[in-house]
Each structure stands twice: as C-alpha cells, then as structure tokens.
Amino acid sequence: MQDICWNADAIGFPTIRFGRQMPSGFNSSGNAPQHALCCYDMESTALNSEPTSQGALWRGDTSAGTAAERRASTIAYYEQKADSYAAMTVAIDTVDRITRFTALLPSGGHVLDAGCGAGRDLIGFKAAGLEAKGLDISHGLAAIAQKNSRLPVSVGDLHYPPFAPASFDGIWAMASLLHIERDNIQSVLCSLYDLLVPCGVLFASVKRGAGLVCDRKGRWFTLYDEASWSCYLRLAGFEIIEALDEPPMIDGDVGSVAPGWISSLARRPK
C-alpha cells in the first residue's frame, strides 16, 4: 500500500496527486488514525475562523448527543417534513451547476443523484438526455422524487449505496454529504469513487465553516473549509476539477448555520 508523504507544500495542495489506495494507517472503514493526516488536523485548528450563527451547536458540545442521535434527528426532519421541504427547495436555481457538471459527461451518460431530495435535479438530468436515477434516505422524499421525475429512485444510505461498482458516469451529491459525520466522510467518498467509471465525475456541495452544527430544524451539518474538503476528495483518489466558494442558496433560516457553500467537481482518474 502506498504511503503519502506530507510536507509544507501540501497545505496548499498545488499539484498533489493521490492514488486510489488509502494511505498507511487507515483502517478498513476508511477512518484516519489519531496522529492524523493534514485534512483532519485542519479541522481541529479551525483555519476557517468565520463564525456560525449564534446558538449553533459545536462539535464537543454536551448537548450534541451521540452520532446515532444526530443522524436520527436529521433523518426525522426529512421524513416528517418531506412535503414542506420539497416545496421549499423546488425553486432553488441549480442550472449553472448542472450545466458545469453535465458538460463533463458523455451523451446519454448514467447519473446518480445521491441524496436526490424531491427530485428537482433529476428532472434537469432527464431534460439533458441523461440516464438518471435517484437515491435518498427519506422514504417520503424518495416517493416525491419518483413521482416528480418519473425516474427510478431508491431508498438507501450513502454509507452503503445499493449499486454495483462502476455503474455511473457521474454522481451528483448536492447538499447531501454535509450530513455525513466527519469520521465517516472518507469511507463515503471512497464508496462514491467506486461507483464511478474511470473518468467519471463527482459534483458535491457542502456547507462552509468549521465544526459540527445543528439548525433550528434539528438537522446536523458537518462544515468544511476549502482546503480540508479538497484534501478529503484527494485522499479518496479524486482529481479536483474545481472547488468554488458560493453564498447561501436560499432563505436565511437554511443558510443561518454556515456563511456559505463549497461546490466541487472532481474526477476519478483513468
């Protein structure tokens, strides 16, 4: 297994390339050891010092509960509020992001909307002539997405996506990976990597900031700065095409737990 040597230049990630194999010290689930690689250390040193909203719960707060409790709280919101969430997100304009993503895919390519919500972007992929299918952990949202898009939508978990390796030319993970706990994000990114064909493309958007926060709806978010998010992608084997800093997409309630977003495009190498 190939080791990765880290040096001062690596903090800026100018030209670093990583192989698909996990570096030495990673366990079988893809988690890093205590001595940590740079992207794990970055989070603890809070390189991005921008504050989250007043009252947000930070990692380590005794009121944060266990990872299982945070996960259950987040899923409960999407199950209980599927209809209202669908209505709230239908008007979000993702055309520019979809255009950048689909321009990198072959004509008629196969796309997975990983965390498809109510199916808004599935409709866009269908209109672009792509063979798309959705995945969401919420039964309610999956049903709405299938009805809205008239495309196949599975209920499933991003930790264990129910698809064969090399099934997709592109994976669209808009505002879904941000609910994955930091300890698990590396293994989830590796799973998504495995679902892509060589030269397949991953779009992902996460909230920008530092730490772990909860909004007033009970949803938990893992926040990243641009450098650490890029590091996680590279450690999973991806080549980064772009990583853009973007403002909040919709109303202040949803955007209140973080000052903006990071939208990234990354490719599985040949």
Q: Cβ neighbours of residue 60 under 8 Å, at least 6 residues apart?
A: none
Specify if 143 maps to a domain: yes
For the segment 98-140, what is each residue's pLDDT rounded down to a tens digit? 999 999 999 999 999 999 999 999 999 999 999 999 999 999 9
- How far apart CA 116 and CA 181 sit, in angstroms, is 19
State the pLDDT at residue 229.
97
Domain annotation covers residue 16 = no
Q: Is residue 232 part of a domain?
A: yes
State the pLDDT at residue 206: 96
Region of 8 please: left (phi>0), alpha (psi -120 to 50) or beta: alpha
Write down the number of H helices and E strands in the chain. 9, 9
Residues β-bridged to residue 261: 207, 246
Identify whether 12 is part of a domain. Answer: no
In a domain, 223, yes or no: yes
Neighbours of 21 (CB within 10 A): 12
Q: Looking at the DSSP assignment, which residues form a beta bridge with residue 262? A: 206, 245
- What are the tens digits of pLDDT across the range 48-81? 333 333 334 434 343 578 999 999 999 999 999 9
Predicted pLDDT at 258:
64
Q: Residue 247: what pLDDT?
A: 77
Helix, strand or coil, per DSSP, at residue 198: strand
Distances in Å between the alpha carbon of 88 and those of 76, 101, 127, 180, 261?
Answer: 17, 23, 22, 22, 18
Structural domain for 225, as ranges: 55-267
Return the axis-axis angle of helices 120-127 and 139-149, rounded to nearest 10°: 30
Residue 29 lies in a domain: no
In the chain, the number of structural domains is 1
* CA atoms of 107 and 91, how far apart (whole Å): 27
Question: What is the per-residue pLDDT for 188?
Answer: 98
> Residue 29 has what pLDDT?
40
Evaluate whether residue 107 is within a structural domain.
yes
Which segments in the chain show pLDDT lower than 70? 1-63, 249-258
What is the domain-level CATH number for residue 226? 3.40.50.150
Q: Is 44 exposed, middle or buried (0-12, 13-18, 19+ CB in 10 A)?
A: exposed
7 domain residue, yes or no: no
The pLDDT score that the predictor gives to residue 42 is: 44
